[in-house]
Amino acid sequence: MHILSIKPEVILYVYMASCVAVLVFNVLYIFIDKYRGRRLEHQSLEMVDEITGQIQQMEAGVDVREEYFTGLIRRLKKLEKLRAFELSMEEIRRQMPAGRTEKYLEQMRRVFLELVPVYEKRDEIEQAYFASLVEKFGIDKGHTAYDGLMDFMIRMVVHKGVFVRENALRALYMIGNKEAVLAAWEKMEDNEICHSKKLLSDGLLKFTGDRGELARLLFEHRSRFDTRLVLPVMQFIRFLGEDFRKEFLELLSKETVDKEIRLEAVRYFRKYPYEPVRALLQRFLQYHEYLDWEYAAVAAQALESYPGPDTVDCLKEGLKAVNWYVRLNSAETLIMGLKIPKKDLFDVYNGRDRYAREILNYVTEKIEIKGQEMELRETDV
Amino acid sequence: MFEFVKCFYTVVGALFVIYLLGYSTFLIASVIAGSLDLYKESKKRRYHNEISHDYYVPVSIVVPAYNEEVTVVDTVKSLLMMDYRLYEIVVVDDGSKDATTQVLLDAFHLKKVMRPINRQIKCRKEQNVYEAVVNGINITLVQKINGGKADALNMGINASRYPYFICMDADSVLQKDSLKYIVRPVLEDDTIVAVGGLVRISNCAVLSEGELVDYHMPWNPIVGMQILEYDRSFMASRILMDKFNGNLIISGAFGLFKKDMVASVGGYDASTMGEDMELVVKLHAFCRINKIPYGIRYIPDAICWSQCPSSIGDLKKQRRRWFLGLFQCLNKHRRMFLAPEFGVVGYISYLYYLLYELLSPFIELFGLLTIVLAYMVNLINVPFMIMFFLIYALYGAVLTITAFFARIYTQNIRLSVLDVVKAVYLCIAESVFFRFIQAFTRMTAFFGYKKKKNVWGQIKRQKIQLHQTSEEKGKMGDAK
């Protein structure tokens, strides 16, 4: 007698059929992928000849025919053809000096403009790919006026896909229009986009226009942005130069300013010493017990740019901190940064604070280990 | 009386059908989600949907070691070859009885230092700390009093310098590009607190310069079946759970964690055998209770090669540990069960592990008993039962082979015809036999539980197959 009133085996058959379908898909994909690879190679080789011919015509002073662009736009609407175009341009760039392809790529701007409405409707992978090509081939580089292409890139920076956002931002950095970057920042703020701070700050360094002007523009609009968008701008400025010392001091002095922003300002003053900051940094270390330990730890590092007996005394205070990082940073600044000789640290080595002694000894040992490695490397050379 | 027995069997039968269909549905959903995801990832790679950044999220690699003199030097050597800009290696010798520390001292000329350890997380005391710099990479060796794997990991976290750490086993090898991949989610999203990598079995692989150069399906069926089991688990169910931020396990063999978050939850729990799972569950609980936006991701591109047991005895030891770890973890965090504040983690992930991992041996045992009883009272259709078992076994085999091929095509692995034949045969064998070994191990796991609950689960180690070029050998010579 059958104890089950429904037939589970039927459901298992259905599931098994689904599994077999996935399996067939996987196996077919392996073969299709191989075939597609060969076809792509063939297509891109054909395009190499075609594009080389166009470049030669342009060099000979013959204008590119309208039909060529129309045909190219029609073909590049297909993703695979766009990939073939990318591969063929890569090949041509390998074969020719950089200057020879520039004029052709300038002409490609109109093709990419026509492709904007097509790729805007595609999935996120294809949108991100389109943006990556705009960056890779310098399409729109140096353009000051907004048009369909730049607008599309700005719209993409609020996409939920991180790759779409990142590729669009990279394209904007490559174009080099500071107003467009500001517009992208504003759009991210309005849409509460959380893009990686590190990607944003490192990305800004790729800006092809005037970086100083971009930094000034973004910094002036900082009040409009949340900390997550201000920090990358400050990190970008840290790599640029010392022109923002007054502004950063103002931020550092205000206790109401976000902690992350103030810490970033301390890092800036480590790289670009500014005498009015000296007392403030020392205070962070002297009153470390009443402060968030991170201020003291970062200030201990920054003080390497402010040598003097007052700084040494202050760092010796830091050696007694409860927090391990404050002690380590103070010790490293004293021994590695300020290169204070052992005799001047006599009071600590012979003092009652075991933790302070231990951390100084450890930093000394670390230097010895690094020295040994350097010696080994030199011997090897 | 007979009517009562019939009624009992109707209810039991219905429950078993629901149970089996639930599991089958989860498996098919996993395999389909896994295959689609791998296809999407493959398309993403082709069309530049990758963060091609000059990575330098600084990372500390923590390697806990206990009686690992055979493999630990090779492991550290392989770590020195990683394609990554800024990282350090922290090896913790958890009171080994063999020459683990000595082989490391000899191989890398480590120097004893008086380093004070920053004790953010509770762990047993260090005895000696050694350091060296090799090819610009800091190596720290902490020798400590034996306290178990979790305790060793906690010491490693305390001794690490960087904001993110990777935990791995001393018998594992990271693929050269694995660090680059495992930190990617952190770059993509600042709220990521942990990332799991793909663990693959190294018994049948040969690596050179941190890259795979030779791979064949093994002749040993114990190893072969585990390869297929890992594929099904890592290429299917973890991808599915990743879709809703519901992964409860990041393998202890390879995972990346945000250090301050781990310190906030108290680090690894030294009182459990499944410290890797317990940490992940704890992170879920901590972030959800405190309403901290967080993500726990799984990245199949970040690959770690790990040894698996090659004998039934070792396999049973390993699975026993895993099962008891699962029990301890689910028991400790039982308030997650169907609790609304834990969302999908409580409704789906916890429920899945409870029903289909923890309780499965007992449900299977109950099933066997009811079959015997039904047979005795002539309430069972034996041919149907055999047919159903065979269909189910075949279904399991097809699922496994699907997951296996999904990995082959997405990771550009070349296999010979013989390998494919072996894979198909092993899929069937795994579906028919392996589950019984698993079920038996799980059923008997609680024997001697109190006595052995906090010991390192040691399996027989083999030397890792690393092919080195002459240039690398020269580089390693520098360290000596």
Contacts of B136 in chain A (CB under 8 A): 373
- Among B24, B25, B188, beta carbon nearest to A196: B188
pLDDT tops 60 at residue B480: no
- pLDDT for the residue A299: 96
Higher model confidence: residue B323 or residue A13? B323
Could you read off the pLDDT of A240-261 as tens digits, one per residue?
A: 989 999 999 999 999 899 999 9
Q: Once rounded to an integer, what is the mean pLDDT over residues A123-145?
A: 89
Q: How many CB atoms lie within 10 A of CB B348?
A: 15
For residue A363, give the chain B residue with the closest CA: B115
- Among B35, B114, B136, beta carbon nearest to A365: B114
Q: Once rounded to an integer, what is the mean pLDDT over residues B446-471?
A: 56
pLDDT tops 60 at residue A1: no
Q: Per the structure block, which two tokens stand in for A53?
A: 């011919």
Do the chains contact at B133 and A19, CB–CB below 8 Å?
no
Task: Count contacts between A and B (CB, < 8 Å).
Answer: 162
Say whether residue B478 is in contact with chain A using an 8 A CB cutoff: yes
Whole-number CA gyration radius for chain B: 23
Picking from A244, A274, A161, A179, the residue whose alpha carbon sits closest to that of residue A217 is: A179
Could you read off the pLDDT of B196-234 as tens digits, one per residue?
A: 999 988 888 888 777 888 888 888 888 888 888 888 777
Helix ranges, A60-138 (H) = 66-76, 79-95, 98-120, 124-136
Picking from A305, A319, A311, A325, the residue whose alpha carbon sits closest to that of residue A347 is: A319
- pLDDT for the residue B278: 95
Domain residue ranges of chain B, discontinuous segments joined by +: 20-357+454-479
On whether the CB atoms of residues B300 and B198 are closer than 8 A, the answer is yes
Do the chains contact at B10 and A126, CB–CB below 8 Å?
no
Do the chains contact at A3 and B13, CB–CB below 8 Å?
yes
How far is residue B28's CA from residue B112's CA, in Å, rounded to a whole number? 54
DSSP helix/strand/coil, A137: coil
Q: Per the structure block, which two tokens stand in for A324?
A: 């391990």
A56-79 in b/e burial notation, b at 16+ Cβ within 10 A?
Answer: eebeeeeeeeeebbeebbebbeeb
Mutate: best of A14, A16, A20, A135, partner B, most B CBs <10 A: A16
Mutate: best of B292, B402, B412, partner A, most A CBs <10 A: B402
Edge-to-edge strand list for the sheet holding B59-65: B111-113, B126-134, B137-144, B87-93, B59-65, B164-168, B254-258, B192-201, B295-306, B172-174
pLDDT tops 80 at residue A374: no
How far is residue A162's CA from residue B109's CA, in Å, rounded to a whole number? 44
On whether the CB atoms of residues B198 and B232 are closer than 8 A, the answer is no
Q: What are phi and psi of B97, to 5 degrees?
A: -95, -10
Could you read off the pLDDT of B378-389 as tens digits, one per residue?
A: 777 788 788 877
Picking from B332, B349, B143, the residue whose alpha carbon sits closest to that of residue B238 is: B349
Q: Which of residues 262-291 of B touch A (CB under 8 A)?
A: none
| Banded pLDDT at A5 (limits 50, 70, 90) | low
Measured in angstroms, the CA of A22 and the nearest CA of chain B are apart by 7
Q: Per the structure block, which two tokens stand in for B127?
A: 């005895």
Measured in angstroms, the CA of A1 and the nearest CA of chain B are apart by 6
How far is residue B155's CA from residue B162's CA, in Å, rounded to a whole number? 14
* Average pLDDT of chain B to the nearest whole number: 85
The type of residue at A125 is I
| Banded pLDDT at B472 (limits 50, 70, 90) | very low
Do the chains contact at B388 and A8, CB–CB below 8 Å?
yes
| Banded pLDDT at B457 (limits 50, 70, 90) | low
Residue B337 per-residue DSSP state: T
How far is residue B266's CA from residue B158's CA, in Å, rounded to a whole number? 11
Higher model confidence: residue B28 or residue A321? A321
Q: Which of residues 191-220 of B touch A (CB under 8 A)?
A: 191
How far is residue B357's CA from residue A288's CA, in Å, rounded to a whole number? 50
Q: Which residues pair with B61 in a beta bridge?
A: B89, B166
Q: Per the structure block, which two tokens stand in for B288?
A: 């959800």
- Among A16, A79, A228, beta carbon nearest to B394: A16
How far is residue B388's CA from residue B368's CA, in Å, rounded to a whole number? 14
Do the chains contact at A26 and B409, CB–CB below 8 Å?
yes
- Among A4, A30, A197, beta carbon nearest to B409: A30
Picking from B51, B39, B194, the residue whose alpha carbon sits closest to that of residue A161 is: B51
Do the chains contact at B51 and A365, CB–CB below 8 Å?
no
Q: Which of residues 370-399 of B touch A (CB under 8 A)?
A: 374, 378-381, 384, 387-388, 391-392, 394-395, 398-399
Measured in angstroms, the CA of A103 and the nearest CA of chain B are apart by 25
Tokens 């720290």 locate to B140
For residue A16, give the chain B residue with the closest CA: B395
Mutate: best of A6, A12, A85, partner B, most B CBs <10 A: A12
Question: How far from B216 is each of A374, B421, B466, CA to CA, in Å?
Answer: 42, 12, 15
Higher model confidence: residue B371 or residue B79? B79
For residue B34, give the chain A residue with the closest CA: A22
Mutate: best of B37, B44, B48, partner A, most A CBs <10 A: B48
pLDDT tops 50 at residue B479: no
CA count, 13 A, side-chain hemisphere, B472: 14
- Among A2, A22, A196, beta carbon nearest to B402: A22
CATH class of B20-357+454-479: alpha beta
Least confident of A124-133, B25-34, B246-255: B25-34
- Among B40, B47, B114, beta carbon nearest to A361: B114
Tokens 């730049």 locate to A150
- Among A15, A79, A197, beta carbon nearest to B28: A15
Residue A195 per-residue DSSP state: -
pLDDT tops 90 at residue A378: no
Q: What are phi and psi of A221, to 5 degrees?
A: -95, 15
Do the chains contact at B379 and A30, CB–CB below 8 Å?
no
- Among B9, B14, B133, beta carbon nearest to A373: B133
How far is residue B157's CA from residue B149's CA, in Å, rounded to a whole number? 12
**What value of ipTM does the predicted structure carry?**
0.82
Q: Once rounded to an integer, what is the mean pLDDT over residues B392-415?
A: 75
Q: How many CB atoms lie within 10 A of CB A31?
A: 10
- pLDDT for the residue A80: 92
Question: How far from A240 is each of A170, A326, B75, CA to CA, in Å?
Answer: 19, 28, 41
Q: How many CB atoms lie within 10 A of CB A347?
A: 9
For residue B23, give the chain A residue with the closest CA: A12
For residue B18, give the chain A residue with the closest CA: A8
| Banded pLDDT at B461 (limits 50, 70, 90) | low
Say whether residue B50 is in contact with chain A using an 8 A CB cutoff: yes
Do the chains contact at A22 and B35, CB–CB below 8 Å?
yes
Residue B179 CB burial class (10 angstroms; 0-12, 13-18, ≥19): buried
Q: What are phi and psi of A125, to 5 degrees?
A: -65, -45
Q: Once rounded to an integer, what is the mean pLDDT over residues A334-343?
A: 93
pLDDT tops 70 at residue B398: yes
Q: How many CB atoms lie within 10 A of CB B152?
A: 31
Measured in angstroms, the CA of A258 and the nearest CA of chain B are apart by 18
- pLDDT for the residue A270: 96
Contacts of B9 in chain A (CB under 8 A): 3
| DSSP per position, A223-259 | GGS-HHHHHHHHHHHHHH-STTHHHHHHHHH-TTS-H
Contacts of A26 in chain B (CB under 8 A): 35, 402, 405-406, 408-409
- pLDDT for the residue A381: 53
Higher model confidence: residue B80 or residue B211? B80
pTM for this entry: 0.86
- Among B10, B28, B118, beta carbon nearest to A18: B28
Say whether residue B46 is in contact with chain A using an 8 A CB cutoff: yes
- Among A8, A325, A376, beta carbon nearest to B478: A376
On whether the CB atoms of residues B240 and B233 are closer than 8 A, the answer is no
Tell me the CA end-to-end span of chain B in Å, nearest whole number: 80
Do the chains contact at A12 and B49, CB–CB below 8 Å?
no
Q: Once rounded to an integer, what is the mean pLDDT over residues A205-221?
A: 95
Contacts of B380 in chain A (CB under 8 A): 1, 3
Q: Per the structure block, which two tokens stand in for A35?
A: 């075939």
Q: Which of residues 129-188 of B touch A (CB under 8 A)?
A: 131-134, 136, 187-188
- Among B35, B381, B409, beta carbon nearest to A1: B381
Do the chains contact at A369 and B384, CB–CB below 8 Å?
no
pLDDT tops 90 at residue A103: no
- pLDDT for the residue B411: 63
Q: What are phi and psi of B122, to 5 degrees?
A: -65, 130
Do the chains contact at A365 and B43, CB–CB below 8 Å?
no
Q: Which residues pair with B130 in a beta bridge?
A: B112, B141
- pLDDT for the residue B471: 42
pLDDT tops 50 at residue B470: no
- Among A3, A22, A125, beta carbon nearest to B31: A22
pLDDT tops 90 at residue B441: no
